[in-house]
Amino acid sequence: MNFFDTLVSRQDMIQTAFLEHIYLSFVAVAIGIAIALPTGILIARYRRFAEPIIAVTAIFQTIPSLALFGFLVPLLGIGSPTALIALIIYALLPILRNTYTGITGVDGSVIEAGRGMGMTRTQILRQIELPLALPFIMAGIRTATVLTVGIATLATFVGAGGLGDIIYRGLQSYNNSLVLAGALPVALLAIGFDLILKWIEKRTTPKGLKL
C-alpha cells in the first residue's frame, strides 16, 4: 500500500491522533509556562536559589525520555495525566532558564535608574525587566514547544495517544507508509508551532531594541 492510500484509508485515525498530539503538547507547554515563568521571575529576584533550582530541572532533562515515561507508569498509572507530567518536566528547563537569563541580563544601569526614580520592585519588574526580557522568554517557550511536540510521540507508550500511536503501529506491522503518516505530521506540527512562535517573538521584541 502506498503512502497516499494509507493517508486516505486511515484518515480518521490520523486525524484523532493529530488532535490528541496537539492537545498533549499545548497543555504541557501551557502548564510548563505557568510553572516555569513565575519560578524564573522568583529565582531572578532571590538569586541564591537560582543555581540549585535550574540544576534540578537540568537533571530532569538528562533522563532519557523513554525511561521517564516508563518510570512514571508504576507511580501514576497509564493515561494522559502521566504523559502530560513527563512532557511538562521536559518543558520546564528551557522556559525557566531563559526567563532567568533574560531578567538577570537586563542592564544594571536601567534598574538603578528605575530604583533611583522611585519605582517599586513590582513596577520595575512589570515595566522594565519583563518587557526587556520578553524576547528571551519567548525564545525559551519556542524551544520548549518544539521539544515537547517531538517527545509527545512517546506518549503512546503510556496509553495517552497522539501521533506516536500511528508510528508505533506502523513499526509493529512493518508498514513504512504508516510510520511516515505519523512522523510527517509531527514534523509539520513542530515546524508550524515554531513559525508561529517566531512571529510572536518578533512581535514582542520592544521596538526600541530593534534599532
Partner 1 sequence: MIRFEGVTKQFPDGTEALKKVSLTFPSHQLTAIIGPSGCGKTTLMKMVNKLEKPTQGEIYIDEKPITDLEEVELRRKIGYVIQRIGLFPHMTIKENASLVPKLLGWPKEKTASRIQELMELTGLDPDTYLERYPLELSGGQQQRVGVVRALAGDPNIILMDEPFSALDPISREQLQDELRNLQQTIQKTIVFVTHDMDEALKIADTIVVMRKGQVEQIGSPAEILGNPANDFVRSFIGVERIQRQRPFGDKSLSEFIGLFKTEGTGSAHEVSGSLTVKEAFEVLEQSGQTHLAIRLGESRHVYAGERELLKAALAKEEGELV
**What mask of x and - would describe binding to partner 1 in positions 149 to 188, judged by CB under 8 A?**
----------------------------------------
Residue selected from 40, 114, 161, 162 as contacting partner 1 according to rule CB under 8 A: 114
Residue type, 207: K
Residue selected from 19, 51, 107, 198 as contacting partner 1 according to rule CB under 8 A: 107
Gap between the terminal Cα atoms of the chain: 55
Question: Does residue 8 bind partner 1 (CB under 8 A)?
Answer: no
Eight-class DSSP state of 117: T
Counting Cα atoms < 13 Å in the Cβ hemisphere of 38 gives 5
Nearer to partner 1, 8 or 211 (CB): 211
Nearer to partner 1, 132 or 178 (CB): 132
Q: How far apart are CA 156 and CA 114, in angstroms?
A: 51
Tell me which residue of 36, 26, 27, 22 sits closest to 163, measured CA to CA: 22
Nearer to partner 1, 106 or 151 (CB): 106
**What mask of x and - would describe binding to partner 1 in positions 116 to 155, judged by CB under 8 A?**
xxxxx--x---xx--xx-----------------------
The distance of closest approach from Cβ of residue 199 to partner 1 in the complex, given in angstroms and rounded to an integer, is 19
Query: CA gyration radius for the chain?
Result: 20
Q: How far apart are CA 207 and CA 211, in angstroms?
A: 7
Question: Does residue 113 bind partner 1 (CB under 8 A)?
Answer: yes
Q: How far apart are CA 38 and CA 120, in angstroms?
A: 18
The distance of closest approach from Cβ of residue 25 to partner 1 in the complex, given in angstroms and rounded to an integer, is 31
Q: How many CB atoms sit inside 10 A of residue 120's CB?
A: 10
Tell me which residue of 175, 154, 173, 176 sits closest to 165, measured CA to CA: 154
Question: Does residue 102 bind partner 1 (CB under 8 A)?
Answer: no
Question: Does residue 195 bind partner 1 (CB under 8 A)?
Answer: no
Residues that bind partner 1 (CB under 8 A): 107, 109-110, 112-120, 123, 127-128, 131-132, 206-209, 211
